Chains A and B, each alone.
Chain A
Amino acid sequence: MTAILPSHEGPSIHELELRANEMRHDIITMLEAAGSGHPGGSLSATDILAALFFANVMAYDPADPRWEGRDRLILSKGHAAPALYAAFKQVGWVREEELPTLRHLGSRLRGHPDSNVLEGVEVCSGSLGQGLAISCGIALGLALDAKRRGDTERRDLPHVWCIVGDGEMQEGSNWESLMFGAHRNLSNVTVIVDLNNLQIDGHVTDVNSLGDIDAKLEAFGWRTWRVNGHDLRRLTDTLLAAREETERPTAVVCETVKGKGVSFMEDAMEWHGVAPNAEQAKAALKELDEARANLMKEA
């Protein structure tokens, strides 16, 4: 058994920050080589993915991506695929030398996650507004499996994590699924909202505001937390609390910055769907390397 199981005794925040820094480094490298892709939303979701994979939040087995007892991760905002691949690299599901093949013919690292070619990806995603329904279906199936096993306390119930963008919450289908998850008391599903307040056409609050998203999620019956999506300690604690909830489905609204970690990409709508050129990538990597050096100094 090589599985990683949820635990409050995770690695140090310092180690997590180094892992997140490495992910950001890989994201920039990948996108530059691809010549296209989505830096902004990948960088905003990086710390969320780092917490899920490396802070002992998700149950999974690096040696067996299909392990039956694994938690399921659905990246509904599939355009953040580079962040997922960067996490997979550290898990061992993507090889270092594969990173520059992002979006190239024959690569497993497609523009949006593709379950047909890359183990660890549960389902194809990228058409927004679909991941939460899938997540609810998986959560229900896993709960029915537990019932069949006679596991009434649902001790071994795997958890389903669904990462959505805040702009994505404009899709009406999500609200069908929120209603359903609460009606069925699917306490083994958590929706993580990457609240970076940017979508292609501008700030979410300008294009079509979500209003009080926390109150709306609560009103739909989901136990809701709000957290700084770049504070790895708080993020980890909140995600673990969500995983322990037994009565209701849960939501974690993460306040994030689009393009986080690269100064000229931060909160800049022009960095939604444009890859850095060689010069820009160099500047971005220099910043990330400096941040890494500072982290090492602190240690």
Chain B
Amino acid sequence: MGNEATRAAFGPTLIELVNEGYDIMAVDADLAGSTTTAKLGAFDPDRLVDVGIAEQNMVGVAAGLALTGRIVFTGSFAAFGTGRCLDQIRNTVCDSRLNVKICPTHSGVTVGEDGATHQALEDIALMRTMPQMRVLVPADHFATAAAVRIAAENDGPFYIRMGRFPVPEVYDEGFKGGLPFANVVREGADLTICACGVEVSMALKAAEELAKRGISAEVIDVFSVKPLAEDVICRSAAKTGLVLACEEHSVLGGMGSAVAELLSERQPTRMGFVGMRGFGTSAPGDVLLKHFGLDEAGVLEAALALVDAR
């Protein structure tokens, strides 16, 4: 399995979609090289607008371009491309149901050395509370390609959460995803681990270790955080009776919260949460995953604690 950042598939998929006839544009804010929207610009300069360091204008211009019939993807880093322009996303894009796809990269603590200011840990929470907004969190670059395609094919606002940290491949070219979509990537009976993004591969590794200890963990990739694939998650929770949510995001308001909201209503289940409980800090991404208990060992420990508490 190769390691590749989820963002790597973003620009190339946009070009593929243009070649298939989708009228796509990207609007970035001085980070086109980092987000990979520069690839679309190199392919066709008229399809990329770089507004400079001005995220509010980025979303407004994207909204205007969408009003002329285009499918528009925005860029920037998740820390700035969601929070700085939240009002534009809420009141212009979502309220008017525009065909704008909020697609910043560099989400989560795995941004690494740049530190807390650049590590978006609240973006899923911000985006999923917006009416009309759909939220996709791809686990690898194949899932990113599918997410970008789904966003292009479905009218209206989307948020796609991508990262710069190389993550192991979970899928292959055949991955299509869906809306809603949650994928049981490993079957088990004793507990369910709901994971998204980089945490899917962490959860899979932890599940191997759990198996060695006689604990059978089911791992679900929650590809679409909004809408949730409710039946897949509820069925698994009913089967195992324990759900551990793992995400490279604040434990407040993220995927784990979404799952908790669902289960508390439809399938009350004891839950545990692996995620961030404060700001990040500066260090390489893999060091931070370990430091904050988001790596394989952290997931394993949380899973064991949850099983013990049964």
Contacts and interface: CB of A to CB of B under 8 A. Distances in A.
Contacts of A200: none
B121 to A, nearest CB: 25
B92 interface: yes
Given A116-B97, A123-B92, A130 B60 contact: yes
Contacts of A140: 49, 61, 64-65
A176 B57 contact: yes
Contact of B61 (A114, A124, A137, A147): A137
B131 to A, nearest CB: 11
Give the interface SS of chain A, mostly helix, strand, loop or mixed: helix
Most buried by A among B61, B64, B98: B64
Interface residues of B, number: 29
B261 interface: no
A282 B89 CA distance: 41
Contacts of B70: 141
Nearest to A126: B91
Most buried by A among B67, B92, B98: B67
Interface in A117-155: 122-127, 129-130, 132-142, 144-145, 147
A177 interface: yes
Nearest to B57: A176
A186 B69 CA distance: 18
Contacts of A138: 64-65, 67-68
B91 A134 contact: no
Contacts of A122: 67
Given A138-B67, A176-B56, A130 B61 contact: no
Contacts of B95: 114, 116, 124
A126 B61 CA distance: 17
A93 interface: no
Nearest to B68: A141
B62 A137 contact: yes
Interface string B90-118: 11100111100000000000000000000
B87 interface: yes
A133 B84 CA distance: 15
B61 A136 contact: yes
Nearest to A115: B96
Contacts of B62: 137
A225 interface: no
A128 to B, nearest CB: 9
Contacts of B69: 141
A63 interface: no
Contacts of B51: 176, 180
Contacts of B52: 179-180
B60 A124 contact: no
A36 interface: no
Contacts of B60: 130, 132-134, 136-137, 173, 177
25 contacts: A123-B63, A124-B92, A124-B95, A129-B56, A130-B88, A130-B92, A133-B60, A136-B57, A136-B60, A136-B61, A137-B60, A137-B63, A137-B64, A137-B65, A137-B68, A139-B64, A140-B61, A140-B65, A141-B64, A141-B65, A141-B67, A141-B68, A141-B69, A145-B68, A176-B57
Given A124-B92, A137-B27, 11 more contacts: A123-B63, A124-B95, A133-B56, A133-B63, A136-B60, A137-B64, A145-B68, A173-B57, A176-B51, A176-B54, A179-B54
